[in-house]
Amino acid sequence: MSVTAAGGFVAAGRAAGIKAGGGPDLALVATADRRPVPAAGVFTTNRATAAPVLVTRDHLAATAGRAAAVVLNSGNA
């Protein structure tokens, strides 16, 4: 698997066993210097919201919309 990062960022990807068949399903994108940068998210408006969405909303609110890394996953919608 190949993950491309924009300048000033580092990235890595793996198969974490989330997707059936063992395909790539997990990535980490982080600032190269570990300093937080502006971040944003678009979240569900559904009242039945998963814990990771709640944690991410709370984190962005607590950090005034800044993050040094983001974990991305796929295959579990």
Report the C-alpha gap between 51 and 55 in whole angstroms.
Answer: 6
pLDDT of residue 2: 62
Residue 1 reports pLDDT greater than 90: no
Which pTM value belongs to this model? 0.80
Rounded to an integer, the average pLDDT of 9-37 is 92
The pLDDT-based confidence of 23 (bands split at 50, 70, 90) is confident
Helices vs strands, H then E, count in the chain: 1, 5
Rounded to an integer, the average pLDDT of 11-25 is 89
Instruction: For 42-65, write each residue's pLDDT tens digit.
Output: 988 999 999 989 999 999 999 999
